[in-house]
């Protein structure tokens, strides 16, 4: 887990099932692998624990790196706007009315 290189670019994390792990297709297409060391009598963690351990480790590593990972203000605004458009009922009508009033002033 410690030599996983975040500088290689974007990351997609795949978590396998406790019984079968990842599919052959997922394994064949992966560029890198992370494994959580197991100690004692535990044979595996459940998926939420595994995700939490991996995300904590990667975020800590990212914050210590020189990688520019923060969203720009424009990117953050676009994400928020897309979220609003997808969660607010009749968002298109509200946006149209807002813009009409905004530009008429």
Q: Are 37 and 2 in contact (CB under 8 A)?
A: no
pLDDT digit string, tens, across residues 73-104: 999 999 998 998 899 888 888 888 888 887 77
Q: In angstroms, rounded to a whole number, what is the distance separating the alpha carbons of residues 100 and 29? A: 48
Q: In angstroms, rounded to a whole number, what is the distance separating the alpha carbons of residues 78 and 85? A: 10
Give the residue with greater pLDDT, 13 vs 19: 13
pLDDT at 54 over 90: yes
Q: In angstroms, rounded to a whole number, what is the distance separating the alpha carbons of residues 12 and 95? A: 33
């Amino acid at each position: 887990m410690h030599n996983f290189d975040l500088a290689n670019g974007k990351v997609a994390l795949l978590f396998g099932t406790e019984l079968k792990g990842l599919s052959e297709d997922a394994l064949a297409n992966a560029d890198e692998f992370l494994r959580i060391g197991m100690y004692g009598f535990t044979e595996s963690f459940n998926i939420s624990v595994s995700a939490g351990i991996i995300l904590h480790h990667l975020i800590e590593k990212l914050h210590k790196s020189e990688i520019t990972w923060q969203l720009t203000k424009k990117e953050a605004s676009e994400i928020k706007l897309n979220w609003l458009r997808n969660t607010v009922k009749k968002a298109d009508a509200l946006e149209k009315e807002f813009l009409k009033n905004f530009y008429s002033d």
